[in-house]
Structure 1
Amino acid sequence: MTFPVVWLYWIISLTVVTYVSAFIINRHREYGFSALVAFYTIYLAASQIVASRLIEFDLGFYTFFAPAAVFLYPFLSQAIDMINEVYGEKKAHVAIIIAFLTQILLVTFILMTNSLSPAPFFEYEDAWQGIFSQSIRITIASWLSFLLFQNLDAYVFAWMKRNYPKQVFLRSASSDLLSLTLDSLIFVVLAFYGVAPLVPLIIGQIIAKNFIGLLDTPWFVWYKKYLEKKS
């Protein structure tokens, strides 16, 4: 069986972001928060754009359908955990608000450019408008679920850290599991009601997001150990 190239991209991107973030925090702690917020924001913007594409997700033993953002959205929970771990819960909530404000700008820019008349030789206007008109709805649905469940993630992670300070894997995995599961329920209903079958997408989202969210947890553990080793 051929190794899907998507996992190669996934491993490389996650490794680079984790290492670069830890490196910046250790060498220049005052810039670490800004770096993590930058990564967090691009994760959010990219996940909202690619969410309009529905994909076949093949685990090898089971195949289901989900928005392409399932490969990216768990990175949001990973990034907010990375912020929370080093800079605390308050800074995590600040990062969520900053990322949310950037998404308002993203939608504004899409609406702004979509209002312009296309060139007469541009052959893809209908496809463009179809994709990005749907993306607006997806983005709004994502806003609501994002604000609710990323803040929930930050709260649960901080609570777990206070009560189980040595359980690094547990606090990241458990906060991600709760937020990603609830987010999937709300997001799919708001984004795809009347457009696509909801139950398969909800199941697909929950399985895919939590599967990928669990897979990326060892990178968080590595991040924590790297910080402790260099401190």
Structure 2
Amino acid sequence: MFENTTKSKIYVILTGSFCALIIMSNILGSKTMNINFLALPCSILTFPALFIINDILSEIYGYKLTKMVIYLGFILNIFAVICYTIAIMLPSNSPNSESFTAILSTTPRIFIAGLCSYIVSNLLNSKILVKLKEKYYHLLFVRCMLSTAVGETIDSLIFITVAFYGVFPTNLIITMICCQAVFKILYELISYPITRKVILAIRKLDDGELKGQI
């Protein structure tokens, strides 16, 4: 499977993983987990991985190719929700029909919040990492953590504010934003050794079909 691996082949794998994770995150987001007094969406288990892949893509392939992946995830996200909605509307005699609807249905407000936070935070994360690379090439840890900190904070700020403003008290919304951002940044910090190894390994590969496009 990984014989004669090139950067172009890894790009395909990372693209597929990124798109799969965004779909998984949307489904997991329908359930919350309670941590003491705070309820957090289960999507925090997978969504930070998007930023790790974002970092790898941005570091190796640059902003232009990373932006294409982000846009593809955005389009597939919309397509998935459209398919879910149509499936829910179709008549069914399945005993699991109500459960299917409960899990895959979404309100317009949550949907818009998710799309806005996803596109803004991921593009910003990639842009910051690439810009920092121009001046601080050897400071990979700093670039990954700083870009992720900004991206994850913006993501939490946009999603929770748009989704829950006026529904939950302001102090709870602020707490949720802070807790989600901290959790996601810690996720990145713990995963950094793996991220670094992956980046260093891909750097050594031939460009393949991507030669001249990076």
TM-score range, shorter chain: 0.7 to 0.9
- Percent identity over the alignment is 25
Cα gap change, 1:98/1:229 in structure 2, threshold over 3 Å: closer, same or farther? closer
Aligned equivalent of 2:211: none
Aligned equivalent of 1:51: 29
Aligned to 1:67, which of 41, 45, 53? 41
Aligned to 1:122, which of 78, 95, 108? 95
One-letter amino acid of the counterpart of residue 74, structure 1: P
Distance in 2 (alpha carbons) for counterparts of 1:207 and 1:54:
17
SS across alignment from 1:166: coil
SS across alignment from 2:178: helix
SS across alignment from 1:27: coil
Distance in 2 (alpha carbons) for counterparts of 1:139 and 1:213:
25
Structure 1 residue runs of 4+, over 6 Å off?
Answer: none
Aligned equivalent of 1:163: 135
Aligned equivalent of 1:28: 6
Cα gap change, 1:205/1:182 in structure 2, threshold over 3 Å: closer, same or farther? same
Q: Structure 2 length normalisation: TM-score?
A: 0.84
* CA drift at 1:67: 0.8
Distance in 1 (alpha carbons) for counterparts of 2:179 and 2:30:
15
* CA drift at 1:55: 0.7
Aligned equivalent of 1:84: 58
What is the root-mean-square deviation in Å for CA atoms of aligned residues?
A: 2.4
- Contact (CA 8 Å) 2:55, 2:144: kept in 1 or not? yes
1:214 aligns with 2:204: no
- Contact (CA 8 Å) 2:6, 2:205: kept in 1 or not? no
SS across alignment from 1:216: helix
Aligned equivalent of 1:94: 68
Aligned equivalent of 1:42: 20
Aligned to 1:186, which of 145, 152, 158? 158
For these two proteins, the number of residue pairs brought into alignment is 203
Distance in 2 (alpha carbons) for counterparts of 1:131 and 1:203:
26
Deviation digits for residues 99-144 of structure 1, max 9, x if unmatched? 111111101110110111231x61551x433333336643331111
SS across alignment from 1:118: coil
* CA drift at 1:39: 0.5
- Contact (CA 8 Å) 2:153, 2:177: kept in 1 or not? no
Deviation digits for residues 185-220 of structure 1, max 9, x if unmatched? 110122334555533422331222122122222211
Cα gap change, 1:30/1:37 in structure 2, threshold over 3 Å: closer, same or farther? same
SS across alignment from 2:90: coil
- Contact (CA 8 Å) 1:43, 1:72: kept in 2 or not? yes
Aligned equivalent of 1:110: 84
SS across alignment from 1:55: strand
* CA drift at 1:160: 1.2
Distance in 1 (alpha carbons) for counterparts of 2:20 and 2:81:
14
Distance in 2 (alpha carbons) for counterparts of 1:209 and 1:215:
10
Q: Structure 1 length normalisation: TM-score?
A: 0.78
